[in-house]
Every structure is written in C-alpha cells, then in structure tokens.
C-alpha cells in the first residue's frame, strides 16, 4: 500500500508540475513580501508604474532598466519644488521616499534611534550574509577614532606605496606605448596603497593577499545585486550559496594576514605587560590592525582579539576603500583624458603638483597636499560629474512610531526608507552652471581669486569659510559623494591625499594619450556600472628614474 502511494507520488512529479510549483511558490513569496513592507501616505506623489500589487510587480520587472529615469523624473517634477516623492525599489526592499534638497537638514539631523544609517547600509549590502555577521560599526568607529589623528604620520608611507604601485602597474618603458585596461590599472594601485594603512608593509605588497580582497569586494557587489531581486523569505535559502565565494576569497587573503596579525597581537600584549625589556622602546605600526587591537582592549571586546576576528573586521573598510576609490580614480582619468586637450587639464595638474612637491623638498605633507587647489578641484568635479550611483545617502526608519515630516506633514512608518538624490542634485543647472560638462577648475577659480587678493580685500570670516568649503572633502546638501552630516565618510581625508599623490606621480612620470570620447557607463537599477573594458595608451616619460 505504502509502496503504491510512493510510486504514484513519484510518477506525479513531472518536470512541468515541479516547475509550476516553483513558480507558484516564488510568486507567493513575493506577495507575502509585499504585504510585509511599509505603506506610505497617499499624499506622497509616486513615480514608476503605479501602486497596488500589479503596479508593484511591474515596478520590480522594470527596476533594473528604468530606476534612474524614474528618479530623474521625480527630481524635475517634485524635488525642485521642495516636495518628496516615492520611487520603486528592488524587489527585496521597500519603496523609498526621495527627500528634496530643501529638507536635507531635517533628514540628516534626526537621531540614529529614529533614522538609522547603519541599518540602511546593512540592508543594502546584506551585511549579515556577506560580512560574516561581524559588527560593522566596530571598524567604522575605529576609523573615526584613529585615522584622522594619524593621517600626517601616514603620508610618507602612502607616498612610498603610490610610487611603487604605479611603477609596478605601468612599467618603466620610455620607448614604447603600452595599451592597458584602465580599470585593471586602478586595481593595481588602490588596493596596495590603501592596505599600507590597513595592514602595513610588506603585506600590502603581497599580490595573492590583494587579489583575494579585490575578489571579495567584487563578490559583495555582485551578490548585493542578486539578493536585491529575491524576497526576504528566499534569502536564508539563497544567500549561503552565493556568499560562499566571499568566504573563499577572504580565506585566501587571511592565510597571508594571519601570521602578521598574530605577531602584532603578541607584540602589543608584551608591550602592554611591561615585563619584557625588549619591548620597552618598541612602538606598534600605526595601521588598522593596531587601531582595532587598541579599541578592542579599550572597549573590553576580548572576543575580537584574535587573528580571524581582526581580519574579518577589516573587510568592511577594505570593501569601501577598494570599491569607491577605484571607481573615483577611474572616472577621474576618463574625464580628464576625454576633455578637449586644448584646455590643458593634464599639463596644469602636472605643473601644479611638480611645483608644490619641489617646494616641499620632494616629500608630501598635509600642508603641501592642501595647496593643490586645481588638482583638488579636478577630483571634486569628477566626483560631481561622474557619479556611480543615483544616491549614496540612505536612512531607514527604526523608531517604532515612525517619523513625521515637519515640512509637508507626511508620515514614514517603521521600516520605511528615505534617501537624497545625488545625481539630480549634482546635475542641477540651478546649482552648477552647465552641469553636464566636466569643468576641472569649477571649484578652484574662486579659491585662487580669493587667495590672490590682498589681506585687506579678503572680506570677513564668512567669505573665508565659503572659500574653504570649496575643497573636495567638504560635504554639503549640494555635494553628496561622501554623503553629508555626522555620518559623512570618515575616510574621505585619506582618499583626498591618496588620489592627489597618485595623480602627481602618474602625470610627472608618464605620458597618456587623450581619448576621442568618454566610454559610456550603463545604469543597472540604482547603480551606474562603469565601462570596465576602457583602455588607455601610456608610456614612461624619458628622463624619469
């Protein structure tokens, strides 16, 4: 009897019925997911394909190809008039409320117990799966506490690493032009330079260690895009298979980092004990490993004081630094190389960096880097002009009672998402004349004109502060690549130094042929995918060492 029933069940499992069951189950999960998501006030205008279940399904279907168009439409219709609007999101996320620039202060000044940056980031990158359930706030707090205060002392080591990384990536052939993939070139520079302040030398030059971290960063981006398309019910089933590559690539890097971290733990423990005379004059290198150990000791976080956890705690910083800095440098060179050569952008930057470096006796300092006004402007303008996401400032409503907007009166319930439109702001002609043109000196003209004035002509402190805010690390409601407010990127000061040193050495020692036109990027959902196949022609300048 039992055997007969089993046979009938097996016979009934035809491929068509199995496929139909999977499809039905998937649709049911999306419907359940839809019912769990927060609902927004009818007073908020919408863009996209409409509301309700049918409209939501259409929005999910078109999200990958139409998201950028939807937000651009909403910016013109509503944001410019001081009104918020709702935009569709990926299937796994609730729709987002796009807050107009006029309400930026309201959104960013709300406390973390009401609007959370942390929770928005965790959801966007699916942190619990991709970063091995590590508390990502621990490394971020460590960067906040230690990076800025040690930045001056880090500059000489970073300069050394910039020179070595660029020489290794581009070579020293002064006779022949070399065709190189620009994306791969930046991946040859940024991870090595960045890891000088994360793990120190010589580990930062270990190519297998760096390759694992680059692959890990790629995994996070790819898996985030994939997981965005699944309902929450599916994620515990799908994510463990997707993120196996994350673990694999981290493990390959960790094999190289483990002895370095274990030795640092040992040395710092001996130093702290005060019982070993050999460590009386020893000081640990100032890098992320040392800072994490210090903070773990200070906070009583004994569980973090082992090589594996310390390595995992660097992953959030590795991802952010590699991913964003490579794209920024990549876009910067494309913008400069595709500009009219008659504008003399590259020559001007070369002249400025060479002059200031000579005045600094060949060694970069914080003061010297701050004097690179045109170089700073060229980088900032590229970050304004060539963004890599529609928005980088997101908040999740975590207050159980939700939050009510004081300007318009609408209410966002618990679990809702709010965002600021970076792309619309950066290309608004009311803020930036000719916004769709790359103007390398857009931000340095006023600064140079101000500094050329006599002391009695420079005006009051307010004018001096306005000019100071033209620098690339100063965030505002009109300039959002580093976000804005108290959660602005804590690593932006290092990134500014890093990019300036890279551009200085690159242009001083290499010739690069201009591009006839800038290669096109492609929107995929809320992200702008760079033209990673773009190539350049480059050779070493004659007479350089």
pLDDT, tens digit (0-9, with 9 covering 90-100), for 331-368: 999 999 999 999 999 999 999 999 999 999 999 999 99
- Return the C-alpha torsion angle 128, 132, 133, 139, nearest 10: -110
Half-sphere exposure of 141 (CA within 13 A, CB side): 12
Question: What is the 8-class DSSP label of residue 389?
Answer: B
**How many CB atoms are closer than 10 A to CB 84?**
25
Confidence band of 42 (pLDDT split at 50, 70, 90): confident
Both structure tokens of 426: 């950066």
Give CA–CA dist 33/57, Å, rounded. 12
- Give the residue carrying structure tokens 């913008």: 335
Distances (CA, A) of 319 to 80, 104, 289, 312, 314: 34, 27, 16, 11, 9
Residues recorded for the chain:
545
- Using pLDDT thresholds of 50, 70 and 90, give the confidence band for residue 8: low
Range with the lowest mean pLDDT among 253-257, 457-461, 529-533?
Answer: 457-461
- Helix (H) or strand (E) holding 403, with range, is strand 403-404
Tokens of 21: 């069951």
The DSSP H or E segment spanning 71 is helix 52-77
d(CA 310, CA 307): 5
Which of the four pLDDT bands, split at 50, 70 and 90, describes residue 476? very high
List pLDDT tens digits, range 123-147: 999 988 999 878 878 999 999 999 9
Who wins on pLDDT, 132 or 382? 382
Q: Which residue has the tokens 């350089």?
A: 544
Cβ-defined contacts of 429-438 (< 8 Å, 24+):
430/80, 431/478, 432/384, 435/385, 437/385, 438/335, 438/338, 438/339, 438/381, 438/382, 438/385, 438/386
| Model pLDDT, residue 450 | 79
Say whether pLDDT at 376 is over 80.
yes
Residue 462 pLDDT > 80, yes or no? no
Q: Which residues pair with 522 in a beta bridge?
A: 529
420 contacts 391 by C-beta, under 8 angstroms: yes
Long-range contacts of 228-231 (CB under 8 A, 24+ apart): 228/90, 228/91, 228/92, 228/93, 228/525, 229/90, 229/91, 229/92, 230/91, 230/92, 231/29, 231/30, 231/32, 231/33, 231/91, 231/92
What is the Cα–Cα distance from 325 to 331, expressed in whole angstroms? Answer: 10
pLDDT band for position 56 (cuts 50, 70, 90): confident
pLDDT band, very low/low/confident/very high, at 544 (cuts 50, 70, 90): confident
Per-residue pLDDT reduced to its tens digit, 208-234: 999 999 999 999 999 998 888 887 777
Tens digits of residue pLDDT in 404-432: 999 999 999 999 999 999 999 999 999 99
The predicted pLDDT at position 314 comes to 95
**Per-chain mean pLDDT for the chain:** 91
pLDDT tens for 493-539 read 999 999 999 999 999 999 999 999 999 999 999 999 999 999 999 99
Q: Which residues are annotated as a binding site for heme?
A: 489
Which residues does residue 417 pair with via DSSP β-bridges, in sequence order?
96, 396
What's residue 446's pLDDT? 86
CA atoms 252, 254, 256, 259: torsion sign: negative
- pLDDT over 60 (residue 4): no
Q: Residue 462 and residue 470: Cα distance in Å, rounded?
A: 13
Give per-residue pLDDT as tens, 72-117: 999 999 999 999 999 999 888 889 999 999 999 999 999 999 999 9
User: Which residue numbers belong to the known binding site?
Assistant: 489
pLDDT at residue 57 is higher than 80: no
Backbone dihedral angles phi then psi of residue 57, each to the nearest 5 degrees: -60, -40
Q: Residue 11: pLDDT above 70?
A: no
Instruction: Work out the pLDDT band at 7, boundaries 50, 70, 90.
Output: low
Dist CA 301 CA 295 (whole Å): 8
pLDDT value at 36 more than 90: no
- The structure tokens 């980092």 sit at 257
115 closest CA partner among 415, 319, 323: 415
User: Would the pLDDT of 10 be above 60?
Assistant: no
- Distance, in Å, from the CA atom of 518 to the CA atom of 82, rounded to the nearest integer, reads 34
Confidence of residue 61 (pLDDT cuts 50, 70, 90): confident
pLDDT of residue 51: 73
Q: Three-state DSSP class for 496? A: helix
What percent of the chain has pLDDT above 90? 73
Percent of the chain at pLDDT > 70 equals 93
Higher pLDDT, 90 or 54: 90
CA distance 396 to 117: 7
- pLDDT band (50, 70, 90) for residue 5: low
Please tell me the predicted confidence (pLDDT) of residue 21: 61
Establish how many alpha carbons lie within 13 A of residue 23's alpha carbon, considering only the half-sphere containing its beta carbon: 6
Q: How far is CA 373 from each of CA 325, 365, 368, 411, 498, rounded to the nearest angstrom?
A: 20, 15, 10, 44, 15
Tokens standing for 293?
Answer: 């150990």
With 80 as the cut, is the pLDDT of residue 161 above it? yes
Question: Is 380 in contact with 443 (CB distance < 8 Å)?
Answer: yes
């Amino acid at each position: 009897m039992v055997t007969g029933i089993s046979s009938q069940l097996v016979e009934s499992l035809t491929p068509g019925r199995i496929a139909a069951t999977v499809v039905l189950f998937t649709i049911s999960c999306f419907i359940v997911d839809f019912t769990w998501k927060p609902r927004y006030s009818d007073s908020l205008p919408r863009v996209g394909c409409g509301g309700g279940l049918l409209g939501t399904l259409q929005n999910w279907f078109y999200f990958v190809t139409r998201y950028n168009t939807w937000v651009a439409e909403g910016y013109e219709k509503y944001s410019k008039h001081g009104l918020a609007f709702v935009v569709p999101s990926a299937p796994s996320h609730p729709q987002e409320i796009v807050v107009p620039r006029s309400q930026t202060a309201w959104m960013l000044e709300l406390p973390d117990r009401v609007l959370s940056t942390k929770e928005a980031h965790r959801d966007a990158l699916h942190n619990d799966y991709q970063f091995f359930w590590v508390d990502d706030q621990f490394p971020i707090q460590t960067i906040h506490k230690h990076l800025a205060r040690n930045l001056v002392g880090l500059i000489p080591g970073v300069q050394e690493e910039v020179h070595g990384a660029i020489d290794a990536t581009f070579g020293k052939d002064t006779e022949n032009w070399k065709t190189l993939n620009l994306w791969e070139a930046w991946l040859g520079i940024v991870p090595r330079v960045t890891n000088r302040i994360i793990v120190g030398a010589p580990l930062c030059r270990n190519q297998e260690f760096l390759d694992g971290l680059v692959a890990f960063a790629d995994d996070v981006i790819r898996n985030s895009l994939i997981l965005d398309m699944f309902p929450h019910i599916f994620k515990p089933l799908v994510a463990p298979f997707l993120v196996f590559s994350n673990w694999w690539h981290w493990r390959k890097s960790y094999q190289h980092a483990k002895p370095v971290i274990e030795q640092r733990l040992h040395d710092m423990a001996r130093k702290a004990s005060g019982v070993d005379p050999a460590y009386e004059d020893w000081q640990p290198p100032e890098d992320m490993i040392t800072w994490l150990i210090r903070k773990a000791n200070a906070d009583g976080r004994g569980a973090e004081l082992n090589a594996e956890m310390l390595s995992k705690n660097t992953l959030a910083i590795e991802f952010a630094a590699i991913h964003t800095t490579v794209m920024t440098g990549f876009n910067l060179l494309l913008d400069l190389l595709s500009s009219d050569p008659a504008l003399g952008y590259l020559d001007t930057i070369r002249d400025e960096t060479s002059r200031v470096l000579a005045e600094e006796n060949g060694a970069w300092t914080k003061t010297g880097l701050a004097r690179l006004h045109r170089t700073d402007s060229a980088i900032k303008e590229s970050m304004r002009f060539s963004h890599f996401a529609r928005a980088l400032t997101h908040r999740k409503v975590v207050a159980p009672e939700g939050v009510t907007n004081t300007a318009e009166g609408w209410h966002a319930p618990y679990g809702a998402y709010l965002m600021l439109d970076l792309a619309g702001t950066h290309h608004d002609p009311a803020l930036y004349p000719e916004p769709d043109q790359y103007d390398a000196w857009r931000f340095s003209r006023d600064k140079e004109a101000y500094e050329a004035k006599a002391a009695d002509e420079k005006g009051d402190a307010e004018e001096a502060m306005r000019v100071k805010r033209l620098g690339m690390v100063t965030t505002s409601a009109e300039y959002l690549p580093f976000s804005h407010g108290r959660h602005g990127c804590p690593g932006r000061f290092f990134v500014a130094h890093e990019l300036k040193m890279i551009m200085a050495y690159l242009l001083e020692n290499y010739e690069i042929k201009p591009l006839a036109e800038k290669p096109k990027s492609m929107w995929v959902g809320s992200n702008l995918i760079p033209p990673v196949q773009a190539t350049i022609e480059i050779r070493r300048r004659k007479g350089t060492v």
